[in-house]
């Protein structure tokens, strides 16, 4: 996907009428500052790339730290998740926790089955 100033290749993508991309993002890190920075980086990318303008939906699959991690790390991950979720409400993107990724897997399977059933001339 590209904008006039930036290009990013989503390695996990598929087409079912429109393009879809799945992007794993882990917020299970040691440094709370880097966790928030990672969310800001992805939110900036999405704002710049503007998936809706490219007929694309980006699906973020987010890994969060478990409850045994330090409180500062868990709080930073929660902030990062919220940062990413806020930008996705303004763009064609979704955020799903890795523990709920089965919903996205179901969508991918459905899209790919539908795509396989559509003759190439209809794409």
Domain extents for the chain? 15-118
Please state, rounded to an integer, the average pLDDT across all residues of the chain.
Answer: 89
* Predicted pLDDT at 122: 52
Two tokens, residue 115: 């795509």
Position 84 pLDDT exceeds 60: yes
Considering the entire predicted model, what is its pTM? 0.83
* Predicted pLDDT at 81: 97
3-12, 64-73, 104-113, range with the lowest pLDDT = 104-113
Beta-bridge partners for 13: 21
Label residue 17 left, alpha or beta by phi (over 0 means left) and psi (-120 to 50 means alpha). Answer: left
* Predicted pLDDT at 43: 95
Secondary structure class of 16 (helix, strand, coil): strand
């Amino acid at each position: 996907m590209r904008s006039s100033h930036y290009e990013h290749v989503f390695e996990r993508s598929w087409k079912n009428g429109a393009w879809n991309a799945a992007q794993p993002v882990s917020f299970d890190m040691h440094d709370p500052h880097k966790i928030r920075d990672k969310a800001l980086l992805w939110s900036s990318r999405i704002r710049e790339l503007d998936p809706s303008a490219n007929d694309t939906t980006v699906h973020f699959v987010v890994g969060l730290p478990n409850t045994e991690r330090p409180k500062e790390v868990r709080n930073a991950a929660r902030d990062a998740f919220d940062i990413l979720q806020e930008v996705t409400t303004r763009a064609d993107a979704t955020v799903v926790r890795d523990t709920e990724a089965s919903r996205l897997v179901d969508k991918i399977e459905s899209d790919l089955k539908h795509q396989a059933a559509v003759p190439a001339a209809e794409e």
